[in-house]
Amino acid sequence: MERPLTQHISANHPWLNLKDYTAVGGYQAVHRALKSFTPQEITKTVQDSELRGRGGAGFNTGMKWSFVPMDDATQTKYLIANADEMEPGTFKDRLLLEGNPHQLIEGMIVSAYAIQANTSYIFLRWAYKKAARIIKEAINEAYAAGYLGKNILGSGFNLEMHLHTGVGRYICGEETALLNALEGKRATPRTKPPFPQVSGLFGKPTIVNNVETLCNIPHIINNGAAWFKALGLGADAGTKLYGVSGQVNEPGLWELPMGTTVRELLEEHAGGMKPGFQFRGALPGGASTDFLVTEHLDVKMDYQSVAAVGSRLGTGTMIILDDHTCPVGFIHNLEHFFAQESCGWCTPCREGLPWTEKILLSLENGQGRLEDLELLETHTKHLGPGSTFCALAPGAMEPLQSGLKYFREDFEKHIHEKKCPWDEERNGSHLH
Sequence ranges of the domains in the chain: 18-231, 239-322, 327-427
The pLDDT value given to residue 412: 96
Q: pLDDT (tens digit, 9 = 90+) per residue, 1-13?
A: 899 999 999 888 8
Interhelix angle 347-364/370-382, rounded to 10 degrees, is 160
Q: Is domain 239-322 annotated with CATH 3.10.20.600?
A: yes
The pLDDT value given to residue 296: 98
Q: How far does the chain reach from its first CA to its final CA, in angstroms?
A: 39
DSSP one-letter string for 190-246: --SSSPTTTS-GGGS-EEEEEHHHHHHHHHHHHH-HHHHHHHSSSSS-SEEEEEEES
The pLDDT value given to residue 310: 96
The pLDDT value given to residue 284: 97
Backbone angles phi, psi at 393, to 5 degrees: -65, -45
Q: Is 31 exposed, middle or buried (0-12, 13-18, 19+ CB in 10 A)?
A: middle
Strand order in the sheet with 252-257: 252-257, 239-245, 317-322, 279-283
The residues pairing with 254 across neighbouring beta strands, listed in sequence order, are: 242
CA-CA distance, 4 to 69, in Å (whole number)?
A: 31
Report which residue type is found at 269: H
Cα angle, residue 211 at apex, residues 190 and 246 outer, rounded to 5°? 100
CA-CA distance, 301 to 63, in Å (whole number)?
A: 23
The pLDDT value given to residue 56: 81
Backbone angles phi, psi at 317, to 5 degrees: -115, 105
From the options 1.20.1440.230, 3.30.450.20, 3.40.50.12780, 3.40.50.720, give the CATH code of 327-427. 1.20.1440.230
Per-residue pLDDT tens digits of the chain, which is 432 residues long: 899 999 999 888 889 999 999 999 999 999 999 999 999 999 999 999 999 999 888 899 999 999 999 988 788 999 999 999 999 999 999 999 999 999 999 999 999 999 999 999 999 999 999 999 999 999 999 999 999 999 999 999 999 999 999 888 899 989 999 999 999 999 999 998 999 999 999 999 999 999 999 999 999 999 999 999 999 998 899 999 999 999 999 999 999 999 999 999 999 999 999 999 999 999 999 999 999 999 999 999 999 999 999 999 999 999 999 999 999 999 999 999 999 999 998 999 999 999 999 999 999 999 999 999 999 999 999 999 988 989 999 999 999 999 999 999 999 999 999 999 988 665 554 443
Q: pLDDT (tens digit, 9 = 90+) per residue, 257-304?
A: 999 999 999 999 999 999 999 999 999 999 999 999 999 999 999 999
The pLDDT value given to residue 81: 98
Same topology for domains 18-231 and 239-322, yes or no?
A: no
Determine what percent of the chain falls in helix, strand and coil, rounding each to the nearest 5. 45, 15, 40
Please tell me the CATH code under which domain 18-231 is placed.
Answer: 3.40.50.11540
Give the global pTM: 0.94
Tell me the three-class secondary structure of 40-93, residue by residue.
HHHHHHHHHHCCECCCCCCCEHHHHHHCCCCCCCCCCCEEEEEECCCCCCCCHH
The pLDDT value given to residue 1: 81
Alpha helices per DSSP H over 269-346: 303-308, 327-341
Q: Is 417 exposed, middle or buried (0-12, 13-18, 19+ CB in 10 A)?
A: exposed
CB 396 within 8 A of CB 369: no
The pLDDT value given to residue 404: 97
Q: Which one, of 177, 171, 147, 169, lies nearest residue 159 by Cα? A: 147
3 state DSSP class of 365: coil
CA-CA distance, 349 to 382, in Å (whole number)?
A: 9
- Residue 133's contacts (CB-CB under 8 Å, 6 or more residues apart) are none
The pLDDT value given to residue 428: 52
The pLDDT value given to residue 13: 82
CB 91 within 8 A of CB 317: yes
Half-sphere exposure (CA, 13 Å, Cβ side) for 235?
A: 10
The pLDDT value given to residue 426: 57
Query: How far from the centroid of its chain's Cα atoms is residue 347's Cα?
Result: 26
Interhelix angle 370-382/392-406, rounded to 10 degrees, is 140
| β-strand pairing of 78-83 with 206-210 | parallel
